[in-house]
Every structure is written in structure tokens, then in C-alpha cells.
Amino acid sequence: MPSLTTGNPQLLMMLAGIGLLCWLMVRSRMTRRATAPRSAPTTATTASTAKLKYNSQAQIRPANFAGTGSVNAPADALQWQLDLHDLGRELKAELDCKLIAGRRMTQDYDRASRRLLALIRAAEHAQAPEQGILSRIQSRHAEGWSSGQIANEIGLSETDVLELIPISSSLPSRSESTA
């Protein structure tokens, strides 16, 4: 541990700063005590007109709420005030819930739009297959194959092939669409 006699400048500056801080705190407390009133005000009017610098120096406590008598207001007005306060709290809670729901929906929409954009980009780079199931059914049916033979080759049931034959017949063939 360094001693004070070696002349360590950092230690000396730190001690000087602490001493200055203590002196300022003691001086400000003494100044406040000297300017504080010696006796407490006796009425509420002198307390309300007294100029207080800090709340901690208040000499008189405010009167406690004792119902409608302390406010000098009719009971209906106070009930109306309480009802409005409750309504305000309910409306604020409702608004907070709607804001949270709106934020959640916005996040979901952003997530969905990013996903849709990624799918669109993937679709732009994807290539269509040379020959799909419907076009294979159409070409085999045009060649005169039976629905059982088509089903065995493609790997579908015969009833599926029978349902897809009218659909594939209504589609234009590849040779017609390229011509």
C-alpha cells in the first residue's frame, strides 16, 4: 500500500476530492438549518403560503382525505370522478391490448411477406418438370392404353386415373401449345 509520504499524486488527488465533497455537504446542511423556520406554522394557510425549497423540509402534513367533507364536493360529483377514473383505466387497458394485438399482427404479416418473397424468388428460379402426371396420362390415353396399364406405369390407382383422364383430355397437349 502506498504511503502519503511518498507523494503518490493519484492518491493525494483522490483524498483531496473526498475532503472537498464532505466539506460541501456539511456546509449545505448547515445553510439549510440556518434558513429553516424555527417554529412550525399553526394553520393550513401559513403552510400553503410558506415557500419550501424541498419536500423533506415540510413542517405540516396535508390533511388526510375524510370523504366528501374534506373536498367540499357533493357525493355525486365524487362518484362521477371515480367512475371516470375507472373508465379511463379500462379504456387504457383496452387500448394496450389492441396495441399489443396490432404489433403481433404486424410481426406476423412481416414474417409472412418475407416468406412469400422467398417463395417467389424460389419459384422464379425453379424449372417446370418436362412431363407431369397429367401430361403422361394424356399421352398414354391418346396412344390407346387402358386405364389399368396407365395406373400400373404411373403408380396411381385405376380410379384415380379414371378421374384424371377427363381432366387431362381438357388440357391442351404439349405439341398443341408449342405449335
Q: What predicted TM-score, i.e. pTM, was given to this entire model?
A: 0.32
Q: Are 154 and 137 in contact (CB under 8 A)?
A: yes
pLDDT of residue 179: 45
- With vertex at residue 77, the alpha carbon angle to CA 73 and CA 83, rounded to the nearest 5 degrees, is 140
Name 169's Cβ contacts closer than 8 Å, sequence gap at least 6. 138, 141
- List the domain boundaries for the chain: 73-126, 133-172
Mapping DSSP to helix (H, G, I), strand (E, B) and coil, where does residue 143 land? coil
Give the model confidence (pLDDT) of 82-92 as tens digits.
899 999 999 99
Mean pLDDT of the chain: 77
- Where is average pLDDT lowest: 27-41, 71-85, 106-120? 27-41
Mapping DSSP to helix (H, G, I), strand (E, B) and coil, where does residue 121 land? helix
pLDDT confidence band for 172 (50 / 70 / 90): low
Give the model confidence (pLDDT) of 13-48 as tens digits.
999 999 999 999 888 888 877 776 665 555 554 545
